Every structure is written in C-alpha cells, then in structure tokens.
Amino acid sequence: MTATIETAPATGTKTTWKLDPSHTLVEFSAKHLMITTVKGRITDVEGTIVSDETNLGNSSVEATLKAVSIDTRTDQRDQHLRSADFLNAELFPEI
C-alpha cells in the first residue's frame, strides 16, 4: 500500500475566482458626435480572475461577454449596435 501526501499551498500563491453573473456588471460609455455620451451595459458575462499575490505579473482576467446582451436602454440603438455595422453579434456572438 502506498500513501500520497499532499500539502496545502503556501500563503500568497495564486487564487482563482469565478465571476458570479448575478453580481457582475459590465458598463461602458461612448461619445456620440462629440456632443453626448451614450451609456450602456452588457448583462451576460462569464469569466475568471486569477490573482498571484507573490507576482502580480502572473495574475490574469478572462471574460466572455455575450454581444446580444448589450443594453443602452434604447432598443433601436441596441439593434444597430448588434448589427454588422458594429458588433456583428450574429457572426461574433462573444466579445
């Protein structure tokens, strides 16, 4: 019989978090005709954050945003942003 001994990781190593969609919000703002600012959000988000406390250069963030979930509170503008003129959500569903 053989035994395998595993040790707990040392303090200050990498920590991984999974984004919780119900507590994650991606917001943006963009100038329109240099006159007004359009604000919006993307509501369908998934991803992970990896934090390396000993070497921040080894930390990372990966996120996937669903293009069809863009919301500027103006349906006509949202449809235009999803179109081939901008995000082309049909061909590129993920950002």
Does the CA dihedral 38-41-52-62 come out positive or negative?
negative
Q: How many domains does the chain have?
A: 1
Q: Does 89 reside within a domain?
A: no
**CATH, residue 53:** 2.40.128.110
Supply the range of the domain harboring residue 26.
Answer: 14-82
Q: Residue for token digits 């703002």?
A: 29
Q: Does 29 reside within a domain?
A: yes
* pTM, entire model: 0.73
Q: Does 51 reside within a domain?
A: yes
pLDDT tens for residues 21-75?
Answer: 888 989 999 998 889 999 999 999 999 999 999 999 999 999 999 999 999 999 9
